[in-house]
Structure 1
Amino acid sequence: MEDGAMGKKIRNYLGVPMSVAAALMANGLLTTPAVSQEQAPAYPSRPKPPADAPNILVVMTDDVGFAASSAFGGPIPTPNLDTLAANGLRYNNYNNTAMCSPTRAALLTGRNSHSVGFGVISEEASPHDSYNSVIPDSAATFAQVLSMNGYDTAMLGKHHNTPLWEITSVGPFDHWPNGLGFGYFYGFIGGATNQFAPALYENRNGLEAPQDDPDYILDKDMADRAIDWLNMQHGIRSDTPFLMYYAPGSAHSPHQAPPEWIAKFRGQFDQGWDKMREQSFARQKKLGVIPQSAALTPRPDEIPAWSSLNADQKKVYARMMEVYAAQLAYSDYQFGRIISQLKENGEFDNTLIIFIEGDNGGSLEGSPQGTVDEIARGKNRMPDDLQDQLTHLDDFGTRYSWNNYPAGWAWSMNTPFQWGKAVASHLGGVRNGLVVSWPGHITGEGQVRSQFTHVTDIAPTIYEAAGVEVPEEVNGAKQMPLAGTSFAYSFRQPQADSRHKQQYFELRDNIAFYDEGWLASTKPRVMPWDKEAPPAEGTPVEWELYDLSKDFSQSKDLSKRFPEKLEELKSEYAATAKQYDIGVSPNEKRVERPFISNGQRHFVFRNSPHRYSRYGFPTIMNRSWTVTADIVVPEGEGDGAIIAQGSRLCGWGLVIENGVPVFRYNASIEDRDKTTVTASAPLSAGRHKITIVFDYDGGGKGKGADIDMRIDGKSVAQGRVPRTPGFLFVSEGGATIGRDYGTTLSPSYEAPFIYPGTINQVVIDFPE
C-alpha cells in the first residue's frame, strides 16, 4: 500500500509516514481528502479551431499578368484554373502592389506594404521603417493567427520577405517562413531561382536538388512535396483544418520548362504581341471577364510595333514567349495534381481556395529587346544583343539561360490595361486575376465578381471564413489594425457594393490613389527596364485622372475635364502618404546593409556539404580580395571544386581539373565575359597552398581586375577580367566549399564536382 496512489495521496496530504496515517484511519481519526476533477493534473492542450472551420489553400503565382491565363481570356491554356473558376468565382477588380515583396508582405499580414517595411522589394531596402524589409512583430501573418487557432500550416515555394542579412545558415530565423507561422516550409528564399537547379530550403535547412536526375524541375518537386504534406496531415489529423500557402516561382524569370512542354507552343506566337493583345481582348469580352464597354488601351511608344521587327527579332522574341507560356501551363498542370489529391482525400469540398494569378502584372524588366540573361542586363549592366540571343536560342528555357521576354509580351499579357510590373500607377502593374472556390459557400458558380478588392483583403477574408478573431496581441506584441476588408460578403452577394473604398498605390515613385471608382495616377517617369528603375527624383510629376466605374481599362484621362476631382484625390493621397510614412526615397540615406562582410576582413571556411547563401557569404564584388586554399592532393584522381560561388551564367571558383588548378570567373553567360586562369602543370601529391589574388581596378562598380595565381607562394599564372558583375552573382546554389553543385561554373565537368582530397581550410581576405 505504501507505493499505491492512495498511500501517496495521504502521505502528501499529512506529511507523515504511511504507517502512522494508516493507524489514524483505522481508528476513525482520519478520512481521505476529496480530490475534485478540476484539481487533477492535465497536459497543456492545443488550441481547437472553430467548429466547421474550413481548410484554406492560398495560391499566388509570380509575374503573371491579368490576360496571361485562359481563365481570364489569355492565350496560355490553364485548364485546372479554368475548372476552378467555372465552379467558383472570378474577380476582375482585384489589385496587388505592382511588385513581389510588397505584395507578399501585404498578403501575409493584411496590412499595407509600407506599414510592414516593404515599400520596395527586399533587395532595395533602406533603413527607413517603411522600406527596411522587416515585418514587425505588430503585424502577425495569417499563418501565425491560424496556428494560434489550431490550424496545421505549411508554405511551399517563393518567400521574398526575409531581410537579406538574415538569409544565413545561422539566422536569425524570425522572418523565415517558420518564424512567420508556417509549421512546414519547402521552397526558396528570394526573388527568383533556377527551376532546374534551385537554391532550396526545407524549413531552415539548405537542400540540394538531385544532381543525377536529368528530368528534375522545381515546379514538379514542389507539387510532390505539397501532396506529401497534405497526405501526411490528413493521415495524422484529418479532423484538424490546414492552411497551405502555395507560391510557385513561375512565371518569374528565368523562364524555364520541360522541353516537351515548350515544344507544344511552337509557332503559336508568331502573330506577335499587337495581334495577340487584340485576340485576348476579344476572348475577354466573350468570356465576360471584362465589360463589353471596355476599351483596349494603345501600345506605348517605348514598345516597338511587332510589324517593325526584322525576321531574326521575330524568331527570337516568339521563342521567348513560347518558353514563358510553357512555364505557366506546366505550373497549372502541377497545381491540378494538388487539386486531385484534395479530392482523393475527401478534403476539396471543405477547402476555401484563393488563387491569385500573379503578384503583379507581366514583367517589363526584360526590356523592349528581351534578354537571355536578365541578371546581367538589368542588374550587372551587361546587356546582350540580338546576335547573342540568336547564339543562345537553343538555351532558352533550359538551366543555361536566365531569359526574360521582351516588354511587348508583358504588355500583351496585361490586356486591356496600360503598362505592367513595377508601374503601380497603372492597372497593368497592379490588376491580377483572382479565383475563389469554396463548394457550398458561394452563389452563382462560374460568375464574375467586380467588387474592388486588394491584396490586403485576403487575410481578413480568411479570418472571417475560418471564424477566428483578429488577436489584439501576439506573443506579447500589440497588433496594428488590419488595412484590408473581408470580401467574403461577395461570395453570396454578386451585386453588393464594394466595401474596400479607398486604396493608395506607391512603388519607386509611381503613385496612384483610388477612391470609390476614381483613380488618380502619375505618369511613369522611369521605365521599368531601366536599372532597378530608381525613383525619378527631379523629374516633373504629371497626374492623370480616371473614372474606373465607367472606364474599366483606365483608358480615358479626365484630368483636364475634372481638375477639382484630381486635386481632391491628390490631397487624399498626401494625407495617406503621411499616415503610412510613404515617400522616403528607397535610395535616401542608403547605408551598407549588415551583411557578414561589413567590417570583417578575414574569413575561414572548412570543407562541408553545407551551402552558404548569397548573403551569408563575404561580398567580393567591387573590391580587391584574395582566396587561399590549404589542401592535400591525393595520389591518383584529384579533380574537384575547392570553392565555387554562382554558376556558369555568373560566378567564380577555384577548381582542380585534370590535376591542374584552374580559376574561373564568369561575369555573365557570354563567352566574352568569361575568364580562365590555369596553372601550367598538375599538382604533385601532398600538401599545397593555392592563392588567387584579385586586384580590382576600383573607380566604381563593375570594373575590371587583374588575376594572379600563386602556388606555394610562387606566381604561376596571370589573367585579366575586363569587367565584373557590380550587383550580384546568379547564385542559385550559393557558395560551397569542396564541391560545385547545380549549373556548374564550366561545362568541362558535371555536378556534383566534389574534391576527393583534403581541404584544411579556404581563407578569404580583404585588404585594408
Structure 2
Amino acid sequence: MFRLCIVALSLLLSSVTQKELAPTTQPKPTAQKPSAARRNAVPPNVVLIMVDDMGWSDIGCYGGEIPTPNIDRLAKGGLRFKQFYNTGRCCPTRASLLTGLYPHQAGIGQMAEDPERPEAFHWGTPGYQGFLNRQSVTLAEVLKSNGYHTYMTGKWHAGMHGEEKLPLQRGFDRYYGIPAGAASYLRPQGGRSVWRDNQKLAPPTDPGYYTTDAFTDEGIKFLQEQKSDAPFFWYLAYNAPHWPLHAKEEDIARFKDTYKIGWEKIRQQRLDRQIKMGLIDPDWGFSERDSRVRPWEKLSQSEKDTVAYRMAVYAAQVYAVDYNVGKVLDYLESNKLMDNTMIIFLADNGACAESYDELGSASFGRINDPDFSGAVSYGIGWANASNTPFFEYKVKPYEGGIATPMIVHSPGLPKNRRGKLTNEIGHLIDFMPTIVEASGATYPTTFHNGQKIQPMQGLSLMNTIEKDAPIEREWLFWEHQTYCAVRKGNFKMVRKMGDAAWQLFDLKNDRTERRDIAALRPDLVKEMNQKWQEWADTHQVFPKKLD
C-alpha cells in the first residue's frame, strides 16, 4: 500500500503543469529563435564527444603526459576553456547536457535507473525520478525536429526500464551502446549489455572486442549509411576511462614504466606544463594534500609496482579514447566534412577516487577480467594526480569534482583564435542554446504531444567562440547527493548539506580552494546562500525524497 501511494503521488507530481514546474526566477532564455544570419547559414554538423570519469589534467592539451595527439589536434584548431563545469557525476551531467536544464529539472538530480534495482533512485519527487522527464527536450529531439539526422553511441545512463526511456524514444534515429552505467569493456553482458537501437544484444564473442572502439566504429557506420546530405548530430559518449580497469595489452605496454616515478612527480610535471601553457596561475599552487594518501616513498616496492600498473591501465584507456577520436577526425576530413562540423570534447565529471582506497579498489586479479564490471580502480593517489592541481574528486562540487577540460572546434572560430584559451565561465546548460543558435534550430515551447517544455537555463557560447565576447552570466548552481555549491563571478561557495557553515573561495586568486574566506565576507556569504536557496526551491532540488 505504501509503495502504491508513492507511485500515485509520483504520477501526480509528474503531471503538473508547466507553470507549476517552471522555476520562478528563470534566466532569460537564449536563442529561442535563431537570428536571420543563422537561419540563412548552412547548418553545421555537430559531434559531441564526452568521456567518463577523466581528470582535468589527463590529456596532453591540459598538461597530461598521456599521448593524446588527436585530442590535442582538436585543441590546436579549436578553443580551450579554462573554466568549464559539469555537475560532478555521470547521470546528472548527462541529463543536463542533453536537455540544457539543471539536472533536477530534467528528473535526474541523483542517479539514473540501475539495471538491477529499477526503483533504487526513483524517490517519488520530480527532481529525483531516475530518468528524463517529459517537461524537457533533448538535443536530439530539438535537432531532429529541425531537419537533422541524430545518432548516439556509447553510455546513455539517463533511464532504461521501459522502452520510452531509451535513446530512440528521446530523439535519436540510431543508437549503439550501453543504456546502463559502468560496464565491461571486453564483454558487456546482463543488465549492462550493449544495445542496438531498441534491441538488447548478446555478449560479444569477438576476442578483440573493446567498447571504446565499438562505440566509434558503429557511429561512423551510421554516418556512412546516411542517405541524405542533411546535417547530422552525433553524441559519442565513451565509457572510458571509468572503471573497471580494462585495456588492450599493447596499449598498457606503452605505459608500463611511466608511473613508477610516483604520483608526486607526475603531479609536479603536469603542473609545470599547465603553467607553461597558461592554464594555471603559478600562485595557486597545489590543492591541499589528501591525508589518506602516503608519500610515494613510503610505499613498499610491491605496492609501488601494483599501483603503477593500475595507472598504466587507466592511461591506456585514455590513450584508446584518443586514437578513436582520431578515427572520427579522419572520417570527417576524408569526407570533406570538417569545415562544417562543430566538435565538442569534454568529461562528465572530475577524476574518480571510488571506492576511496589509497591503492585502488577490488583485487588486482580483476583487472582485465571481461566478466567483471565493478569498481576495480586506480585509487585515491592517482585520482589526485589526474585532477592536478585541483581539490577533491567526482561527486563533490569542489573544482576537482566539477571542472572539466572543454574544447570547441567550430566552423565559426576565427583563424587567429584557433589554439587559444578562454577564461570565460561555461557550463553544460550552455550546450543547448549554443547548438540551437549554431544550427539555426528553434527550441520548442511545447513537445511530447503538447506538453509544455521548460525554458533553457544556459547561455549561448557562440559570441564567445566567434567574437571573443564575454559570457554575461552572474550565477551558477550545484546540488548533488549531500553537497551544494554556488558561484557568483569569481567567488564560489561549497557546503555539505546539513552543515550550517559555507566555505567561500576566491577562484581568481585561489582556484585550488586552499583558503576559506567566509569569515572575511559575511555579507557575500549571506547573499550567495540566499540565492542558492532561491534556486533550489525553484529548480526541483526539494523535496529530495519522500520517505
Q: 1:585 to 1:314 in 2, by over 3 A?
A: farther
Q: 1:271 to 1:366 in 2, by over 3 A?
A: farther
Q: Is the 8 A contact 2:127 2:544 kept in 1?
A: no
Residue 94 of structure 1 aligns to a residue whose secondary structure is: strand
Instruction: State whether structure 2 residue 171 is matched by structure 1 residue 181.
Output: yes
Instruction: State whether structure 2 residue 529 is matched by structure 1 residue 582.
Output: no
Instruction: State whether structure 2 residue 100 is matched by structure 1 residue 126.
Output: no
* Aligned counterpart, 2:145: 148
* Aligned counterpart, 1:593: none
Q: Is the 8 A contact 1:323 1:397 kept in 2?
A: no
Distance 1:125 1:65 in 2: 29
* Aligned counterpart, 2:239: 249
Instruction: State whether structure 2 residue 459 is matched by structure 1 residue 485.
Output: yes
Greater strand share, structure number: 1
The Cα shift of 1:398 comes to 4.2
Instruction: State whether structure 2 residue 128 is matched by structure 1 residue 161.
Output: no
Q: Is the 8 A contact 1:361 1:432 kept in 2?
A: yes
The Cα shift of 1:482 comes to 0.8
* Aligned counterpart, 2:411: 439
* Aligned counterpart, 1:278: 268
Distance 2:166 2:472 in 1: 33
Distance 1:76 1:583 in 2: 42
* Aligned counterpart, 2:501: 542
Instruction: State whether structure 2 residue 355 is matched by structure 1 residue 399.
Output: no
Q: 1:225 aligns with which of 212, 218, 226?
A: 218
Alignment of 1:665-704 (within 5 A): none
Distance 1:158 1:286 in 2: 35
Distance 1:370 1:584 in 2: 38
Q: Is the 8 A contact 1:366 1:405 kept in 2?
A: no
Distance 1:152 1:285 in 2: 41
* Aligned counterpart, 2:201: 207
Residue 553 of structure 1 aligns to a residue whose secondary structure is: coil
* Aligned counterpart, 1:18: none
Q: Is the 8 A contact 1:194 1:254 kept in 2?
A: yes
Instruction: State whether structure 2 residue 426 is matched by structure 1 residue 467.
Output: no
Determine which structure has greater relative contact order: mean sequence separation of CA pairs < 8 Å that are 6+ residues apart, divided by chain length. 2
TM-score, length basis structure 2: 0.87
* Aligned counterpart, 1:750: none
Q: Is the 8 A contact 1:116 1:133 kept in 2?
A: no
Q: 1:143 to 1:511 in 2, by over 3 A?
A: same
Distance 1:551 1:372 in 2: 32
The Cα shift of 1:83 comes to 0.5
Q: 1:440 to 1:570 in 2, by over 3 A?
A: closer
Distance 1:489 1:223 in 2: 31
The Cα shift of 1:472 comes to 1.2
Distance 2:471 2:412 in 1: 23
Q: Is the 8 A contact 1:509 1:583 kept in 2?
A: no
Residue 300 of structure 1 aligns to a residue whose secondary structure is: coil
Distance 1:151 1:474 in 2: 17
Instruction: State whether structure 2 residue 228 is matched by structure 1 residue 237.
Output: yes
* Aligned counterpart, 1:103: 93
Q: 1:270 to 1:95 in 2, by over 3 A?
A: same
Q: 2:80 aligns with which of 90, 96, 115?
A: 90
* Aligned counterpart, 2:393: 420
Letter matched to residue 360 of structure 1? N
Distance 2:336 2:224 in 1: 11
Q: Is the 8 A contact 1:512 1:520 kept in 2?
A: yes
Distance 2:200 2:355 in 1: 30
Q: 1:372 to 1:399 in 2, by over 3 A?
A: farther
Distance 1:515 1:125 in 2: 32
The Cα shift of 1:573 comes to 1.0
Distance 1:50 1:189 in 2: 37
Percent identity between matched residues is 31
Letter matched to residue 228 of structure 2? R
Letter matched to residue 310 of structure 2? M
Letter matched to residue 42 of structure 2? D
Larger radius of gyration: 1
Greater helix share, structure number: 2
Letter matched to residue 525 of structure 2? L
The Cα shift of 1:118 comes to 1.0
Residue 52 of structure 1 aligns to a residue whose secondary structure is: coil
Q: Is the 8 A contact 2:292 2:358 kept in 1?
A: no
Residue 568 of structure 1 aligns to a residue whose secondary structure is: helix
Q: Is the 8 A contact 2:82 2:405 kept in 1?
A: yes
Letter matched to residue 169 of structure 2? G
Alignment of 1:322-333 (within 5 A): 322-333=312-323
The Cα shift of 1:446 comes to 0.3
Deviations 1:588-635 (A, max 9, x none): 51xxxxxxxxxxxxxxxxxxxxxxxxxxxxxxxxxxxxxxxxxxxxxx
Q: Is the 8 A contact 1:194 1:399 kept in 2?
A: yes
The Cα shift of 1:334 comes to 1.1
Deviations 1:170-207 (A, max 9, x none): x3x22200011001000001111101112110001011
Distance 1:112 1:152 in 2: 26
Alignment of 1:212-361 (within 5 A): 213-233=206-226, 236-238=227-229, 240-356=230-346, 358-361=347-350
Distance 1:500 1:314 in 2: 46
Deviations 1:433-489 (A, max 9, x none): 000102353351000011110111111110010011211111311111111111111
* Aligned counterpart, 2:351: 362
Letter matched to residue 215 of structure 2? M
Q: Is the 8 A contact 2:361 2:379 kept in 1?
A: no
Q: Is the 8 A contact 2:492 2:507 kept in 1?
A: yes
Residue 92 of structure 1 aligns to a residue whose secondary structure is: strand
* Aligned counterpart, 1:136: 133
Q: Is the 8 A contact 2:141 2:170 kept in 1?
A: yes
Q: Is the 8 A contact 1:360 1:430 kept in 2?
A: yes
Q: Is the 8 A contact 1:58 1:353 kept in 2?
A: yes
The Cα shift of 1:148 comes to 0.4
Letter matched to residue 232 of structure 2? F
Letter matched to residue 84 of structure 1? L
Distance 2:402 2:169 in 1: 28
Q: Which moved more, 1:112-121 or 1:286-295?
A: 286-295
TM-score, length basis structure 1: 0.62
* Aligned counterpart, 1:566: 525
* Aligned counterpart, 1:642: none
Deviations 1:548-590 (A, max 9, x none): 233333332211221221122112111111111324445x51x
Letter matched to residue 97 of structure 1? T
Deviations 1:299-354 (A, max 9, x none): 12233332332222211111110000001101111111111011111111100011
- Contiguous gaps of at least 5 residues in structure 2: 1-38, 115-120
Instruction: State whether structure 2 residue 404 is matched by structure 1 residue 429.
Output: no
Aligned residues: 494
Letter matched to residue 422 of structure 1? V
Distance 1:440 1:518 in 2: 31
Aligned-residue CA RMSD in angstroms? Answer: 1.8
- Contiguous gaps of at least 5 residues in structure 1: 1-48, 374-387, 524-535, 590-768
Q: Is the 8 A contact 1:456 1:484 kept in 2?
A: yes
Distance 1:348 1:432 in 2: 24
Distance 2:248 2:236 in 1: 21
Residue 96 of structure 2 aligns to a residue whose secondary structure is: helix
Distance 2:58 2:526 in 1: 35
Q: 1:372 to 1:419 in 2, by over 3 A?
A: closer
